[in-house]
Amino acid sequence: MPTSPLPPGSTLGILGGGQLGRMLSQAASRLGFDVVILDPEAGSPAGRVSARQIVAAYDDPEALSELGRSCDAVTFEFENVPAASVERLAGSGARVAPGPLALSTAQDRVVEKTFLNDAGAPTVAFASVDTVEDLKAAVQTLGLPALLKTRRDGYDGKGQAWIRSPEDVETAFAAIGGRPAILEAAADFVRELSVIAARRADGEIAVYPLGENSHAGGVLRTTIAPATASAGTQARAHEIASAILNGLDYVGVIGVELFELADGTLLVNEIAPRVHNTGHWTQDGCVCDQFEQHVRAVVGWPLGPTAAHARIEMTNLLGDEIEQWPALAAAPDVRLHLYGKAEARAGRKMAHVNRVMGPA
Amino acid sequence: MPTSPLPPGSTLGILGGGQLGRMLSQAASRLGFDVVILDPEAGSPAGRVSARQIVAAYDDPEALSELGRSCDAVTFEFENVPAASVERLAGSGARVAPGPLALSTAQDRVVEKTFLNDAGAPTVAFASVDTVEDLKAAVQTLGLPALLKTRRDGYDGKGQAWIRSPEDVETAFAAIGGRPAILEAAADFVRELSVIAARRADGEIAVYPLGENSHAGGVLRTTIAPATASAGTQARAHEIASAILNGLDYVGVIGVELFELADGTLLVNEIAPRVHNTGHWTQDGCVCDQFEQHVRAVVGWPLGPTAAHARIEMTNLLGDEIEQWPALAAAPDVRLHLYGKAEARAGRKMAHVNRVMGPA
C-alpha cells in the first residue's frame, strides 16, 4: 500500500453506516476529507453525516466498484467484510485498509488465536471443533468449564455457549447450530483490559493507554481509562499490540481485548481490526481520538499523539437507556455522543457518554 | 419561544452552509440531531456533513417554508438574514433562534451601537451619516482619525474607509459607495479581546473566558485563549456580555468583540449574533465548545460548562496557507479543522488550527 499522504479534499469510503462509521466520518470531515458510506440501509447513522451514501449490500459487485472508483481510500467499520468484496475494492484502485490478512485473521477465531500465539501474544488454550467428537476430545484436553464459540460471525456474546459439565456438550454444540467452532479454556482473569493501537503502512505505531472494561450479558457497559496499571503491565500491553500490528502488516486502528490474570499475565481475548467501543473514551480523553487516528493511518498522515489529558468513564447507552438524555445533558462533566438511530430496540447501542473523572 | 428541550432525533435547520454551519452541524449530530442546511451552493461545506441540503437562495419563500416545515428548530450561521426570511421561517412553526430583534440590531451599525450604549455596553463615540454634509459635521464632532463604515453589510474590513484628514472626507464617502454610514471615533486601544457567551430562552447565561485577537488586513489571524486578564477585566466582560444577551432577549451563542483601553476600560467594537471565529479555540480548550453550546441553547437543552481545560492558540488558514497541512498534520500539539472547500481563493478562510499551549 502506498505511504504517501492523501491531501485534504480526497475522498474516503467507509463500508458500514453504523455508529463507528458515523464517528469515523465526522473525524475525516474535520481533516477536510469527503466521505462516502456504503450501507444497505438508506439514511444510516453514518450516511446522514456524510457527503454521500451508496445504498447497497456489502457484497454488491457494482456498488463496491463504484465505491472504489469514487474514493481515494476505503476502510471498514466492521470486520466481517467478505473477502471477495475486499478484492473488488482493491481492484478499483483505491487504497484499502486494513488489508485482507487482518480481515481474514479476525474473521475466524481459530485462525486468529493461532496467529496470536505465533506472534507472541498469548491466549487461553483452545481447540478447533468441527464435530461433537472433536468437542468431547477438546473438553478432555482443556478441562471444564470451557467456552464454545462459532469460528465465524457472532459478536456481543452471540454464537457462544458455556460448557460446565460433560453433559452440556451436545446441547452446547446444538446451541451454536453445530457450526465449525472453537473451544476455549476458561480464563481465570481478575479484570478485562483493552488497548487501542494504530499502525501506518511505513510501520510507525502509536498505542493509547489501557482501558478497563466491564461487560454485562456479553455487551460492553463501561470503560475507564487510563486504567490503573503498573508500568510493567502497560509495557507488556504495548508489546502485545505492536506484535499483532506488525504480524498483520496492519494499517489503521485495532482494538485488542485482554484478560489480566492474578499474577499479572496478559492474555489476548480477541482482536477487532477497526475502531473499537473500548476506545470511545479517547474522544474526550485525548487530543487525537481513535477515529481521527484511524483516518490518519488510512490516508497516510502522521499518527497523532496518544497521551491522555483526562481520565474518562465511558458508558454505553443501550435501548431505552437513551431516555436518560435529559439528566445526562444537564451533567456538566458528561459529554454525549448520540448515534442518530431512530428506533431504540432492546439492547441496541444508541449512544455513549464520556464522563470526565479528572486529569489523567 | 418555548423553553422545553427538543429530544434527540429532532431536526435542526441551519441557514448557511459555510464553515460555521458545518461545525454547528457536526456538533448537532453528536447530540443526536438530524441537520438540514439551506444554502444556494450545492455541496456546501455544511451540506456535505448533514442529512440534507436544500439548494436555494436565502430569500426563496418556498425553500424557507420547506426548511421550516421539515425542522423543529432553525438557526443561522450569519447575521445578514433578510427579515422577511426570518418571518417566513417563524411562521412555519419551527423555533427560530436567535430572534428578529438580535438580527435587525446586528444588521445596522447605528442601531447596534445605539442599543449597546443603551444596554450599558459602551462603544466608541459615533455618528450616523447619510450625506457628505453629515460626514463633515460628524468629523467636526468626533475628531480625526475616524473610521467610516457602511451601516449595513460589510465584514472582514470590507465597506470601510479611514478618514485621517479633512481632505479625505469626500474620497472616503465615495469609497463606501455613498451609502448610509456610520462614522466611528478611533479607539485608542491596547489590544483586541472578545468574549463568547450564550443564553437560553429562560434567561440562563454561560460565558467563556476571554480571547485575545490579532487581525491583519481586517481579517482575524489568531486568537489566544484564555487571555491573560485581571479578574476585574474578566468580570467586566461577563457583565457586558450578559447585558447584551438580556437586552436582546437572546437565544444562542453570541460573539462580542472588545477594545481594551490603556486604563483597562472595555468598549464593544461589534457583536455577531452567531458562533464566532474568535470562539473556535473552545473546540479544543473546553469540554463544551461554542458550536455545541449554540445547539444546546437553540434546542432548549441546559447550557454546557464554559471553563477552559487548555490554553489554545487558534490560527486561521487563509487561501493557499492551506498548503501548510503536511507540517501541521505532523505537529503533535496541533488540532486541524478543515472546512472541505475545494477552491483556495486568496484570503478565503479554508481551515483553522488550534495549538494546545498547555493547561489553562
Q: What is the DSSP string of B175-206?
A: HTTT-SEEEEEPP-EEEEEEEEEEE-TTS-EE
* Spatial separation of the C-alpha atoms in residues A121 and A101, rounded to whole Å: 17
Q: Residue B303's Cα: distance from chain center in Å?
A: 19
Start-end of CATH 3.40.50.20 domains in chain B? 11-96
**A349 phi and psi angles, rounded to 5 deg:** -70, 110
Is B185 within 8 Å of B125 (Cβ atoms)? yes
**A305 with B22: Cβ contact below 8 A:** no
Q: Is any Cβ of chain A less than 8 angstroms from the Cβ of B5?
A: yes
Q: What is the pLDDT along chain B (360 residues), one digit of tens a residue?
A: 667 999 999 999 999 999 999 999 999 999 999 999 999 999 999 999 999 999 999 999 999 999 999 999 999 999 988 888 988 898 888 999 999 999 999 999 999 999 999 999 999 999 999 999 999 999 999 999 999 999 998 766 678 999 999 999 999 999 999 999 999 999 999 999 999 999 999 999 999 999 999 999 889 999 999 999 999 999 999 999 999 999 999 999 999 999 999 999 999 999 999 999 999 999 999 999 999 999 999 999 999 999 999 999 999 999 999 999 999 999 999 999 999 998 999 999 999 999 999 998
Nearest to B138 by CA among B104, B189, B172, B175: B172
List the single best residue of A6, A26, A29, A349 to mutate versus B (max B Cβ within 10 A).
A29
Amino acid at B172: A
**Which chain B residues are Cβ-neighbours of A305 within 8 angstroms?**
332-333
Of A305, A326, A356, the CB nearest to B5: A326
**pLDDT at res. A155:** 63
Of A5, A326, A332, the CB nearest to B305: A332
Could you count the other beta carbons within 10 Å of the beta carbon of residue B327? Answer: 10
The residue of chain A nearest to residue B11, with distances taken between CA atoms, is: A340
Q: Is any Cβ of chain B less than 8 angstroms from the Cβ of A360?
A: no
Is A234 within 8 Å of A318 (Cβ atoms)? no
A332's grid cell? 456538566
**A325 with B30: Cβ contact below 8 A:** no
B168's grid cell? 479625505
Of B26, B322, B329, the CB nearest to A301: B329
Q: Is any Cβ of chain B less than 8 angstroms from the Cβ of A43?
A: yes
Q: Identify the bridge partners of residue B90 per DSSP, sorted by sequence position.
A: none
Find the Cα–Cα–Cα–Cα dihedral B126, B127, B133, B136, rounded to 10°: -20
What are the angstrom distances between the C-alpha of A300 and each of A88, A350, B24, B180, B332?
21, 31, 28, 53, 16
**pLDDT at res. A157:** 64
* Spatial separation of the C-alpha atoms in residues A198 and A255, rounded to whole Å: 9
The set of residues, in sequence order, having a beta carbon less than 8 Å from that of A115 and lying 6+ positions away, is A105, A247, A248
Q: Identify the bridge partners of residue A223 per DSSP, sorted by sequence position.
A: A213, A314
Sign, Cα dihedral of A25, A29, A33, A37: positive
Work out the minimum CA distance from B154 to partner chain A, whole angstroms.
28
* Spatial separation of the C-alpha atoms in residues B308 and B314, rounded to whole Å: 14
**pLDDT at res. A217:** 85
Work out the minimum CA distance from B155 to partner chain A, whole angstroms.
25
The residue of chain A nearest to residue B296, with distances taken between CA atoms, is: A329
**pLDDT at res. A83:** 84
Start-end of CATH 3.30.1490.20 domains in chain A? 125-185
The residue of chain B nearest to residue A343, with distances taken between CA atoms, is: B9
Q: Is any Cβ of chain A less than 8 angstroms from the Cβ of B158?
A: no
Query: What CATH number belongs to A11-96?
Result: 3.40.50.20
Classify B78 in phi/psi space as left (phi over 0), alpha (psi -120 to 50) or beta: beta
**Which chain A residues are Cβ-neighbours of B329 within 8 angstroms?**
5, 31, 296, 301-302
User: In this predicted complex, what is the ipTM?
Assistant: 0.94
* B-contacting residues in A 47-66 (Cβ below 8 Å): 48-51
Work out the minimum CA distance from B281 to partner chain A, whole angstroms.
13
**Which chain B residues are Cβ-neighbours of A200 within 8 angstroms?**
none
SS3 string, chain A, reads CCCCCCCCCCEEEEECCCHHHHHHHHHHHHCCCEEEEEECCCCCCCHHHCCEEEECCCCCHHHHHHHHHHCCEEEECCCCCCHHHHHHHHHCCCEECCCHHHHHHHHCHHHHHHHHHHCCCCCCCEEEECCHHHHHHHHHHHCCCEEEEECCCCCCCCCEEEECCCCHHHHHHHHCCCCCEEEEECCCEEEEEEEEEEECCCCCEEECCCEEEEEECCEEEEEEECCCCCHHHHHHHHHHHHHHHHHCCCCEEEEEEEEEECCCCEEEEEEECCCCHHHCCHHHHECCCHHHHHHHHHHCCCCCCCCECEEEEEEEEEHHHHHHHHHHHHCCCEEEEECCCCCCCCCCEEEEEEEEEEEC
Q: Which residue has the cell 476529507?
A: A33
Is A348 within 8 Å of A306 (Cβ atoms)? no
The residue of chain A nearest to residue B336, with distances taken between CA atoms, is: A31
* Spatial separation of the C-alpha atoms in residues A36 and A63, rounded to whole Å: 12
Give domain B189-359's CATH number out of 3.30.360.10, 3.30.470.20, 3.40.190.10, 3.40.50.620. 3.30.470.20
* Spatial separation of the C-alpha atoms in residues A155 and B38, rounded to whole Å: 41
Q: Which residue has the cell 498534520?
A: B329
Nearest to A229 by CA among A267, A197, A193, A257: A193
Of B30, B305, B329, the CB nearest to A337: B30
Quick one: A171 exposed, middle or buried, by C-beta within 10 A (0-12, 13-18, 19+)?
Answer: exposed
Work out whether strand A73-76 and strand A95-96 pair parallel, antiparallel, or are unpaired: parallel
**A48 with B34: Cβ contact below 8 A:** yes
DSSP SS3 for B272:
strand
The residue of chain B nearest to residue A285, with distances taken between CA atoms, is: B287
**B26 with A26: Cβ contact below 8 A:** yes
Give domain B125-185's CATH number out of 3.40.50.300, 3.30.465.10, 3.30.1490.20, 3.30.750.24. 3.30.1490.20
Q: What is the pLDDT along chain A (360 residues), one digit of tens a residue?
A: 667 999 999 999 999 999 999 999 999 999 999 999 999 999 999 999 999 999 999 999 999 999 999 999 999 999 988 888 988 898 888 999 999 999 999 999 999 999 999 999 999 999 999 999 999 999 999 999 999 999 998 766 678 999 999 999 999 999 999 999 999 999 999 999 999 999 999 999 999 999 999 999 889 999 999 999 999 999 999 999 999 999 999 999 999 999 999 999 999 999 999 999 999 999 999 999 999 999 999 999 999 999 999 999 999 999 999 999 999 999 999 999 999 998 999 999 999 999 999 998
Could you count the other beta carbons within 10 Å of the beta carbon of residue B187? Answer: 18
Work out the minimum CA distance from A306 to partner chain B, whole angstroms.
9
Work out the minimum CA distance from B321 to partner chain A, whole angstroms.
13
**B50 with A51: Cβ contact below 8 A:** no
B46's grid cell? 455544511
**A356 with B301: Cβ contact below 8 A:** no
**pLDDT at res. B155:** 63
**pLDDT at res. B156:** 62
**B48 phi and psi angles, rounded to 5 deg:** -75, -5
The string over A59-75, giving b where at least 16 C-beta atoms fall within 10 Å of a residue's C-beta and e elsewhere, is ebeebbebbbebbbbbb
B272's grid cell? 455577531
List the single best residue of A4, A26, A30 to mutate versus B (max B Cβ within 10 A).
A30
**A287 with B7: Cβ contact below 8 A:** no
**B22 with A29: Cβ contact below 8 A:** yes
Q: Is any Cβ of chain B less than 8 angstroms from the Cβ of A323?
A: no
Of B31, B32, B332, the CB nearest to A305: B332
Element housing B261 (H / E) = strand B252-261
Start-end of CATH 3.30.470.20 domains in chain A? 189-359
Work out whether strand B73-76 and strand B11-15 pair parallel, antiparallel, or are unpaired: parallel
* Cis preceding-peptide flag for A5 (omega within 30 of 0): no
Q: Identify the bridge partners of residue A314 per DSSP, sorted by sequence position.
A: A223, A354
Element housing B135 (H / E) = helix B132-142
Give ∠ CA A304-A81-A347 in degrees, rounded to 5: 85
Is A281 within 8 Å of A225 (Cβ atoms)? yes
